[in-house]
Structure 1
Amino acid sequence: MSETLSLVWLRRDLRLHDNAALYHALKSGRPVLPVFIFDRLILDQLDDRQDRRVEFLVQEIDRLRDELAELGSALVVRYGNPIDVWKELLEQYNVGDVFANHDYEVYAKERDKAISELLAERGTGFHSSKDQAIFERNEVLTGSGSPYTVFTPYSRNWYSKLTPFYLKPYPTERYKKHFFKTTVLPTPTLAEMNFKPLGEPFPARTVSAKRLDSYKQTRDFPALEHGTSELGIHLRFGTISIRELARQAQDANDRTFLNELCWRDFYFQVLDHFPHVETHSFRRDYDRIEWRNNEDEFEKWCRGETGYPIVDAGMRQLNSIGWMHNRVRMITASFLCKHLLIDWRWGEAYFARKLRDYDLSANNGGWQWAAGSGTDAAPYFRVFNPTLQAQKFDPKGDYIRQWVPEVNSPTYPQPMVEHSMARQRAIDVYKKALAK
């Protein structure tokens, strides 16, 4: 092919509207051809060949193909090691520039560095933009120019900078004629990637104004249908614009929901500035905790057989549908770390395998918050009482009965650990570790 193209590499931004990388590609002066790569280095690590995230990706790729076909264009979809795929693409197409959006995980940054070096060797430019965060990297810093390590002062600065400029959409629709004209291209199927379909519907891509209006009152009660936004998977893969969602929250005057987006940015910048959190405690001294790491107890927690109904309900919900209510995520995580004294990394890895909306930065941040090893100011005395949490947030037991129908029968197990004893044991172990 002799015509020089701009390729836009879609990753966590699976949409044509309000997409920073796509916007810059469309304005590059060359025809634009979008690319998506099913990364074998990631997919081959998945244990379950019926993975909700992979099925979601296939669904959204099909949607993008249809949208591009209406514009007379197509989506290049490949399955393989990204470096190998890009070598093939550079042989197949005359590529002038490649556009992508920033990613903040260690693997992603290393991958992008390798790809940019490959492209540079061929004389091809690599351009990366901010898209999945409202504020990133060094945009929200302390007065001394260092990254924040505590959320509250970060959020104050974040809100002070939140002007309409940062929420302005990228008008990609103005340049839709700049897509490269070609026929629909073949894409790998689930079967070809050795995955099996589940066929269950995914949550909606939008959140209604009515739901935002009630979000503050409903978000903590897991029995309520649609009490939360259920947009996690769409934010994870960028099928919805973070700027669009923030504008909607502002229009609804919903500070509670907007605060969740602030937390999301905060965890992105923690991961970006402190990449050691992927494998170590944010606060390094917490790596000295002597975890019990009882494998039998861990398996009971995984199966939802702890004898604490709210914990078991959450774990069974996770195992069944690949999603768990956020309040219950905190309860189950606290129980594993504090009641059972099992390393938070075990629980984080289990959630990573099961959650359809898994996002490394948020998952890591949530687990380190629960373990007390994260960005909290004085955390380790906080030990959730699962019984009191159930009484407060599932007062009628509707959520528990939905997922633990045998809860009041003789077959339901007794609590595997007594709360008061476990709480004191956790505090003692933490004190000992932090006194070293």
Structure 2
Amino acid sequence: MSEEPTPVIYWFRQDLRLDDLPALHAAVESGAPVIPCFIIDEDAPQKWAPGNASRWWLRGSLGALAKAIEKRQGTLLVRSGCSEDVLSELIEETGAYAVYCSQAYEPWNRELEERLGARLGRLGVALHCLPGSLIFTPGDVLNRAGLPFKVFTPFWRHCRSQLPESRLLPAPGVGAFAAQVPTGQDPEAWPLASSSLQPVEDWGERWTPGADGALSALDRFLNEALSGYREDRDIPAVAGTSRLSPHLHWGEISPRHVAQVLRTDAPGDTEDDQEKFLAELGWREFNQHLLFHFPHIDEQPFKDDFKSMPWRPDADAFEAWKAGLTGYPIVDAGMRELRATGFMHNRVRMICASFLTKHLLVPWQWGARWFWETLVDADLANNSGGWQWVAGCGADASPWFRIFNPVLQGKKFDPEGAYVRHWVPELAALPDRSLHAPWELAPLLLAEADVVLGETYPHPLVDHATARAQALEAYHDRSSAPQAPPT
């Protein structure tokens, strides 16, 4: 290491890319050789340790990042342990005089940055944390009273009017990275958790983690799905969404990049569709800003009166929901898609979340935890925000009295049954008119379709009308009810 000039360290976090990365650009602009590293942080809160789906994605993304750095004659250094300790050790080994990284906004990451800055300062080493994962920096977007926005529409109206059109930062060239780095670990050898929750062996056929996969997903979306996005995004049997969420979560592409390409390279007849998708990027930003200002909402409701919501923590019902055995085909299709692919269509996520919280009155935290374990795009702010929106207890939430009828939702958004037939094949032979409510079909007609309720497919866990009435009563009485445990 002594033959090279004194290096700086670039610490990758949830920004696994090389282009349009302000902190990496600043590290390169320092003129010092850059040692790129990633730390599998074993000191982060265990309650939010990556789930199996996230671990699978991260392994692939780190492998892709390592190859991109190798093309520029560098080496990605991967180590595991406490981030503060690992970085301090690297500084001692390399003599690095500065550490650069992107800001992260989860509560524990903000605390980590504060502790790390103080610790490195005592060593005479500078810590440079720069924005990189969002379009707008939390804390900079405030209403006229100087307070955080709590309603999405005015938040996005404010942000949309200031959407930047600045030049995207280039990736480092050959020679920017240090020629030598200390020894590290093989990121692809990082084990999955000892769990058989998901058959991840064939996920490589469905997903391409890494920056190249992100660019391919964006290109597919622009050319194949953007036109008609406003309507098609709600149809689960149609490839009408971007599927960019895991790439955005892991920072394989910047949201600024996505927004800029959308506005400059999209077909000219898609203005309404573009605006709708930009608003979806805005919803992602909104949830991140909320978590920044209200860090308790990862596990506690945004609205205080929901702390006394009389949930019914029914473990058996929860297990049936997780397994896709509720007896409601659109719900079961979604839960099975999740298990098989690490993903669930957004419209179906809302239907499944509504069923758990409002038909079964199971705490929203249980569902959020399961999604955290099983989604490749598991993101704390979006996951918690989405579940609270459905449960009615979040900022700018769906009204608590809005209770999706899963039968009507299935008929509306999967009218020909293509989605349900794919994920619930035991119902494939049912006619369209009965597919979303098989219990309404006469036993003889069910038998002709090889369906025996209670044997080949379950009876409904609950009756919709009864469950709806019970949910409305529980929500109405929440202010005077004792608080049920959220876990």
Q: TM-score interval w.r.t. the shorter chain?
A: over 0.9
Contact 1:5 1:94 in 2 (8 A): yes
Give the aligned partner of residue 226 of structure 2: 212
Residue 240 (structure 2) pairs with residue 227 (structure 1): yes
| 2:144 maps to amino acid | G
Please report how far the alpha carbon of residue 181 of structure 1 lies from its aligned counterpart in structure 2 after TM superposition. 2.1
Q: Contact 1:221–1:227 at 8 Å: present in 2 too?
A: yes
Deviations 1:37-63 (A, max 9, x none): 1122459768999x3322322222222
Residues in 2 aligned to 1:179 and 1:377: alpha-carbon distance in whole angstroms = 46
CA contact (8 A) 1:292 1:340 kept: yes
Kindly provide the amino acid, as one letter, of the partner of residue 201 in structure 2.
Answer: L
TM-score, normalization: structure 1?
A: 0.93
Pick aligned residue for 1:294 from 314, 317, 324: 314
Give the partner amino acid of 1:182: Q
**TM-superposed deviation, 1:84:** 2.4
Preserved contact between residue 47 and residue 353 of structure 1 (Cα < 8 Å): no
2:135 matched to 1:134?
yes
One-letter amino acid of the counterpart of residue 27, structure 1: E
Per the TM alignment, residue 194 of structure 1 is displaced from its structure 2 partner at its CA by: 5.9
Q: 2:291 aligns with which of 264, 267, 271?
A: 271
Distance 1:277 1:356 in 2: 21
Identify the range of structure 1 (385-394 vs 420-429) with the bigger mean alpha-carbon deviation. 420-429
Percent of matched pairs sharing the same residue? 40
| CA deviation after TM superposition for structure 1 residue 312, in Å | 0.6
1:95 aligns to what SS in structure 2? coil
Partner of 2:438: none
Q: Secondary structure at the match of 1:200?
A: helix
Q: Distance in 2 between matches of 1:129 and 1:44?
A: 26
Aligned mates of 2:384, 2:53 — CA distance in 1: 20
The code of the aligned residue for 1:102 comes to Q
Once residues 357 and 98 of structure 1 are traced to their aligned partners in structure 2, the CA distance between those partners, rounded to angstroms, is 28
191 and 31 in structure 1: CA distance in 2 versus 1, 3 angstrom threshold: closer
Q: Does 1:236 align with 2:238?
A: no
For residues 183 and 135 of structure 1, the distance between their equivalents in structure 2, rounded to whole angstroms, comes to: 34
Q: Map residues 394-413 of structure 1 onto 2, 5 A cutoff.
A: 394-407=414-427, 408=430, 409-410=451-452, 411-413=456-458
Matched, 1:283 2:303: yes
Structure 1 residue 171: Cα displacement: 2.9
Q: Deviations over 1:110-152 (max 9, x none)?
A: 2222222221121111111111110121222111110001111
Select the residue among 15, 18, 21 that pairs with 1:16. Answer: 18
Going from structure 1 to structure 2, the CA distance change for 1:214 and 1:270 (only over 3 Å counts) comes to: same
Residue 201 (structure 2) aligned to one of 198, 201, 204: 198
Deviation at 1:386, TM superposition (A): 0.5
- Residue type of the alignment partner of 1:180: A
Quick one: distance in 2 between partners of 1:329 and 1:232? 14
1:171 aligns with 2:174: no
Please list the CA deviations of residues 254-283 of structure 1 after superposition, one character each: whole Å capped at 9, or x if unmatched.
111111100010000000000010121011
Q: What is the CA deviation profile of residues 374-419 of structure 1, one whole-angstrom value per residue up to 9, with x for unaligned ones?
A: 0126611111111111001100111111111123511211211111
Contact 1:264 1:362 in 2 (8 A): yes
TM norm structure 2: 0.84
* Contact 2:246–2:377 (CA under 8 A) maintained in structure 1: yes
The residue that corresponds to 1:144 in the other structure is 145
Q: Paired residues, what number?
A: 431
Partners of 1:353 and 1:413 lie apart in 2 by 25
Partner Cα distance (1:322, 1:413) in 2:
24
Instruction: Kindly report which structure 2 residues correspond to 1:237-386, keeping only aligned pairs within 5 A, or say none.
Output: 237-251=250-264, 252=266, 253=271, 254-376=274-396, 379-386=399-406
- Counterpart CA distance in 1 for 2:49 and 2:27 is 36
Q: Structure 1: how far apart are the matches of 2:55 and 2:192?
A: 11
Seen in structure 2, the aligned counterparts of structure 1 residues 239 and 377 have a Cα distance that, compared at 3 Å, is closer
Q: What SS is found at the alignment partner of 1:99?
A: strand
Q: Which amino acid aligns with 2:203?
A: E
1:131-190 Cα offsets, whole Å, 9 max, x none, are 11101212221111100011111111111111313xx312344x6533222379553354
Structure 1 residue 198: Cα displacement: 2.7
Alpha-carbon separation, structure 2, partners of 1:430 and 1:115: 44
| AA partner of residue 76 (structure 2) | L
Secondary structure of 2:15 counterpart: coil
Give the distance between the partners of 2:227 and 2:48, measured in 1 at CA: 38
Which residue pairs with 1:431 in the alignment?
Answer: 476
Amino acid aligned to 2:179: K
Aligned to 1:99: 100
Instruction: Determine if contact 1:72/1:182 at 8 Å carries over to the other structure.
Output: no
Once residues 56 and 79 of structure 2 are traced to their aligned partners in structure 1, the CA distance between those partners, rounded to angstroms, is: 15
SS in 1 for 2:229: helix
Question: 1:425 Cα deviation (Å)?
Answer: 1.2
Relative to structure 1, the CA distance from residue 86 to residue 47 in structure 2 (aligned partners, 3 Å threshold; closer, same or farther) is closer
Q: Secondary structure at 1:249's aligned position in 2?
A: helix
| Structure-2 separation of matches of 1:44 and 1:106 | 14
Report the Cα offset of residue 297 of structure 1: 0.8
Q: Which residue of 2 aligns with 1:420?
A: 465
Describe the shift of the 1:113–1:43 C-alpha distance in structure 2 as closer, same or farther (beyond 3 A): closer
1:193 to partner: Cα distance: 4.1
* Deviation of 1:339 (Å): 0.5
Deviation of residue 10 (structure 1)?
0.6
Distance in 2, matches of 1:353 and 1:398, equals 27
1:1-32: CA deviation from partner (whole Å, max 9, x where unpaired): 44421111111111111111101111123211
* 1:30 alignment partner in structure 2: 32
Cα contact 2:54–2:373 (8 A) shared by 1: no
Q: Which piece of structure 1 moves more, 192-201 or 374-383?
A: 192-201
Amino acid at match of 1:231: L
Segments of 5+ residues of structure 2 without an aligned counterpart are 195-199, 431-450, 482-487
1:53 is aligned with what amino acid? S
